[in-house]
């Protein structure tokens, strides 16, 4: 094993890269007298990180250790653990191994292993965990997430400083390219292990790293830096969104959510979830706009006859009927037939514009920008079996008051 006990003499370039991240530098400074554990897989990146932090630890005043998570997925897993233990013994760094069991999930073996690893690191006896993710990892993560159709959070990539339960999570090498890490290891004559699964291109990340990355580099030599820079922009936008949502809630007199709840609310809203509940309110996102309303149990209504009343109270609001001098519904076209208010059942058609064909309410609602959750609550006005009027869409051409005589104008005021 070619690892030196003395601090690296040519580590200035990597140290400088670590120092350029103000967040990482501040986080490391705050750990004086505390425990910092390096997540050591035995691969190139984590070996370099451990070697680098070993040199920085005396100046930082941190108690450095290493933890190896043994997934047991490879027949060489035992050899990797023994390698990590031997390396830490040679460097004089306390070492701990954690054996985990992988439960296969629908998300795949990669996701299951990642969750098990995070759980093991969260239990580690340390105040902070250092991970060896670097610039190439960040670019590949952003690209992977974008290809999956991610929102702002996924496009933000990995943060240089984050949280893992009660622990700080640091990525000191996030701004360092893989080439610089490999060059450092060569100069320091470090030994490491190669995970045979890194050659398996059936794994998406390996495919991106081995096939897509080199192809991008032929046209965009600095694609990694560009994606990492984009990730920082997305992260800043995400922080702005948190501030806006917090201010929005405060302006409505609602209690402030925890940071974790706020992040989860934004994640769900960004994914156009059906609803996000908070402090007795429900928030929904549709076409970039947030719709708030009181959190109440949805209620439907049965068919209800209209006998000329000025207002009808329904479970979701009030339906009012105004007498107007022109426009609206032509009373003569109702022809004395029974008029009813019914809930939507599906398949209804309306012709608000006599110059266009009759169309489904689904298409008309989409065109008018009526949010999906409101469409099922709206009261539809029928004359016999003919649809006369729909809130937000208007009067069917067959019943429209085209002349100058008086008409009836329904108005729907839903509860918010």
The pTM score is 0.58
Handedness of CA 125, 128, 133, 134 (dihedral sign): negative
Instruction: Give DSSP secondary structure letters for 17-84.
Output: HHHT-HHHHHHHHTTTTSEEEEE--SSHHHHHHHHHHHHHHHHHT-EEEEEEEE---STTHHHHHHHH
Q: Which of 282-296, 319-333, 335-349, 380-394 has the weakest average pLDDT?
A: 282-296
233 vs 65: which has the higher pLDDT: 65
Tell me the pLDDT tens digit for each residue of 400-409.
Answer: 998 778 999 9
> What is the pLDDT averaged over residues 377-404?
92
Q: Which of 73-87, 218-232, 236-250, 362-376 has the weakest average pLDDT?
A: 236-250
What domains are defined for the chain?
12-229 (3.40.50.620), 231-294 (no CATH), 304-414 (no CATH)
Largest CA distance in the chain: 99
Report whether pLDDT(2) > 90.
Answer: no
What's residue 121's pLDDT?
94
- Which token pair is 270? 């960004």
Buried b (16+ CB within 10 A) or exposed e, 107-120: eeeeebbeebbbeb
Tell me the pLDDT tens digit for each residue of 284-313.
Answer: 877 767 778 777 655 667 789 999 999 999
Place of tokens 């013994």: 89
Other Cβ atoms closer than 10 A to 365: 20
User: Using only C-alpha atoms, what is the Rg of the chain?
Assistant: 31
Q: Which of 53-57, 106-110, 347-351 has the weakest average pLDDT?
A: 106-110
What residues form DSSP beta bridges with 340? 305, 382
Residue 272 pLDDT grade (very low, low, confident, very high; cuts 50, 70, 90): low
377 vs 139: which has the higher pLDDT: 139
Residue 414 pLDDT grade (very low, low, confident, very high; cuts 50, 70, 90): confident
């Amino acid at each position: 094993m070619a690892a030196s006990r003395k601090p690296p003499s040519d580590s200035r370039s990597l140290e400088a890269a670590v120092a350029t991240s103000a967040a990482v530098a501040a986080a490391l400074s705050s750990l004086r007298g505390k425990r910092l554990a390096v997540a050591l897989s035995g691969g190139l990146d984590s070996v370099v990180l451990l070697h680098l932090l070993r040199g920085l630890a005396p100046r930082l005043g941190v108690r450095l250790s290493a933890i190896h998570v043994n997934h047991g997925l490879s027949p060489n897993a035992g050899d990797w653990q023994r390698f990590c233990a031997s390396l830490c013994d040679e460097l004089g760094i306390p070492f701990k191994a954690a054996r985990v069991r992988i439960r296969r999930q629908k998300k795949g073996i990669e996701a299951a292993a990642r969750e098990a690893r995070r759980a093991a690191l969260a239990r580690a006896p340390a105040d902070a965990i250092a991970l060896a993710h670097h610039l190439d990892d960040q670019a590949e993560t952003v690209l992977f997430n974008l290809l999956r159709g991610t929102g702002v959070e996924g496009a933000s990539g990995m943060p240089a400083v984050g949280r893992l339960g009660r622990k700080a999570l640091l990525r000191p090498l996030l701004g360092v390219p893989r080439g610089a890490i490999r060059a450092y290891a060569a100069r320091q004559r470090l030994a490491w292990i190669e995970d045979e699964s890194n050659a398996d291109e059936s794994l998406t990340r390996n495919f991106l790293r081995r096939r897509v990355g080199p192809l991008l580099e032929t046209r965009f030599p600095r694609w990694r830096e560009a994606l990492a820079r984009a990730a920082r922009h997305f992260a800043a936008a995400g922080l702005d969104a948190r501030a806006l949502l917090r201010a929005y809630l405060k302006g409505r007199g609602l209690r402030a959510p925890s940071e974790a709840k706020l992040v989860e609310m934004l994640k769900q809203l960004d994914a156009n979830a059906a609803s996000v509940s908070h402090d007795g309110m429900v928030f929904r996102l549709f076409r970039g706009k947030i719709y708030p309303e009181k959190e109440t149990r949805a209620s439907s209504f049965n068919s209800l006859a209209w006998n000329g009343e000025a207002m009808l109270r329904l479970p979701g609001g009030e339906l009012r009927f105004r007498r107007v001098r022109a426009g609206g519904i032509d009373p003569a076209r109702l022809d004395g037939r029974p008029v009813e208010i019914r809930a939507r059942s599906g398949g209804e058609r309306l012709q608000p514009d006599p110059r266009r064909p009759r169309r489904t309410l689904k298409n008309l609602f989409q065109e008018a920008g009526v949010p999906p959750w409101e469409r099922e609550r709206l009261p539809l006005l029928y004359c016999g079996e003919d649809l006369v009027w729909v809130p937000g869409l208007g009067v069917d051409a067959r019943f429209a008051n085209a002349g100058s005589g008086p008409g009836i104008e329904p108005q729907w005021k839903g509860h918010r």
